[in-house]
Amino acid sequence: RIHRSNLVMMGVLPLQFQQGDSAESLGLDGKEEISVEISEDVQPHDLVKVKAKKENGEVVEFEVIVRFDSLVELDYYRHGGILQMVLRNKLAQ
């Protein structure tokens, strides 16, 4: 099991279902094409819209919580991960 913070440090967008929502309750089976509407000014714990397009063309829309727990994690994500952030900072010096 990979820890959420490790995924953030690799530049992965951490999303969490809202209370009462789950893949099962939304009728998702893992075969959907997922798109996430995330703005440039997203902040930790904001809600973002997700569209899940099923194989039959049906689209399920729902909101999830962005699980950045700090502004530092948000910076990691914006840079594509901690390694890219460190490299950019070094190159800028």
Contacts of 47 (CB under 8 A, 6+ apart): 18, 63, 64, 65, 66
Confidence band (pLDDT; 50, 70, 90) for 83?
confident
Closest CA to 44 of 64, 67, 63: 67
Domain of 11?
A: 4-92
> Who has greater pLDDT, 41 or 1?
41
Taking the C-alpha atoms of residue 31 and residue 58, their distance in angstroms, rounded to an integer, is: 12
Q: What is the DSSP letter of 66?
A: E
What is the pLDDT at residue 22?
Answer: 97
What pTM does this model have? 0.84
Taking the C-alpha atoms of residue 26 and residue 36, their distance in angstroms, rounded to an integer, is: 16
Q: What is the DSSP letter of 45?
A: T
pLDDT tens per residue, range 18-76: 999 999 999 999 999 999 999 999 999 999 999 999 999 999 999 999 999 999 999 99
What is the pLDDT at residue 1?
Answer: 63
Total number of domains in the chain: 1
Taking the C-alpha atoms of residue 8 and residue 27, their distance in angstroms, rounded to an integer, is: 27
What is the pLDDT at residue 36?
Answer: 97
Apex 67 CA angle, 61 and 69, nearest 5 = 155
- What CATH number is given to the structural domain containing 74? 3.20.19.10
